[in-house]
Structure 1
């Protein structure tokens, strides 16, 4: 993108934020209504987690696919294609009541691409501005998701009325909404740069750009998502077992989701002031402290603190890990790296929801799960701190032509 294009911050970023708001309205279909439909189809609530697992699996698979599309067609086409894939998935889910559980899971996997499409918007935001304003633009793009992510679950009742009027089960209402909002979000995206174009080939890019420099930001993104999904997938049942009704559980969930996204401008400001490499280990320590409320317990106050602070800590992971990934990746390779970032987040979410949460909850309940996630975050913080110390150790001067894998992309030659 040339300099004149990068200066149009107000119009382009606000248009992207509008797309983020519209697309995020469709996210509740999988996370909120999916488990309800699984129970409706099978007659057992035990199948609810399988719908969530299918959703995060689809999100993980969509990341590399979106990266390939962006490399070949242009930046905006990756998230736009994800949104269209989610539209098809939502349509399949609507009819899965007649087609069975397999169609529900297939449709939910496709629907998971919508999560990737919305989350890729944060990277697109950095491409619309100059490097100094990139954290601010990313923070706005993530914060815009708050509107739809919080409002979507609230629309479960009203959209259910629409679904019943159409002769469908009320649990499909949010999926009908997704069929409408995801294509609309894609249309808005395609107006950002006239549909975009393929990136120039990466000629002369140093091979070190493919090195280990991206592993640490991917670790940050994966650790944050692993912790958040494992806790968020377990707390609703914990709250119900503590005597809270569904309305109260919904309010707790809204608090958590609001904290996840609304804190993004603050996370972006911290990254801009201190740098993402400094904020990332602080995010891991913040998550560790947040999980202490789940380990110690203590009633409603601890439950509220756990949900709110885990959401805030996840946001610190997301913004710092994403900005770090942008910094260390040469511009011609960013689409591939961003796809890997979504893959890391989706794979970690699948591990948290399908692999770790169930066994740990059965062995020791929520305190053991929180303790295990805290240990993961401490290990991440230690790894990041060790890497920072090694970078501060004086080293022999490198040849002028050598470029470190951890150097920001702005220091690399551009095609």
Structure 2
């Protein structure tokens, strides 16, 4: 089930699932450090719980967890020396296939842990990349995931040095070195350098291909801008119900399952708001805490849909015990991609799973509307709020449009928000808000300053 690129030699940690050796799911043991030096809003227990959900999504069975409180993760082995030995004993007793760490391991940490543990070593980043690789369907998604995987693997190729040399048949001498050095070391080192060059070349090719995708997306955005249709980007924590809400509002038929990162590829659909304004909704990839920086960079073309949107519709699973923490994580990522200043409406989703929906504190979220995408509850209020927030972000104009320019009146009705309309002798007097890109069409008919 692990998405592997067979063209490259993989380390022990990268050979995540081996379906041929197991009749059932692989047994995973989860490890986290409760760092006292971080100001994360997430508790280590909640983070481990989410890591378990990620492992299950990838296809593993969680058989136990370990946590250690430290000022910061140990630079050599992530855990303290004593806990690593304890972990080694536990993973042998439980017959674990892999040990998954709740942070991204440095190449040094990963190499040292691989020497000390019998089970394969996987960190949070590799786990998320594996899930993304399983769920990528479009050419764009596959390219973006592969780029992130290649950039993740490149600094870890040094882990193969000793392993490859041993495979070549060398034995250790009295001083701990490798015997048969002349004929054994060379091929291993050559293989390592070849792999490095091939991955660097592949990364370059992937970046060029993704840049082409980015340019194509820019063309599509310019075409949408020419139509002056506002774009609402649907964002939120993974598994908050984004795709379900998107499907309910737009009848898009996007895959919506109760799993993390069920969909990766952005989808855009047309919708008419209650005030008759036409808008485009774009569903985007879900966010998660500790989202790998490489993944954000690889998905830059996709995330630009969020950056270029006129408004954000954040979907929050209000039934989740970490709803506030999840929303704060979304805010942090929006800040990272420079999309935090956009108008936002928050859909507090899954109220059908809340015992007392009337007790929900909507003041904790921006322009919040309680809804249930699954039960079609609160959706009219949500669309009305979206229309209002969009209108507030548009430009106010006061125009008198001659009757012979009926196409402009019709355009205002479809793309704008009319506050006042009056039929006079000389034409149609309209006071309302219009998308900034359309303002030029109406400037010559202005009767007052906004």
Same fold (TM over 0.5): no
TM-score, normalising length from structure 2? 0.27
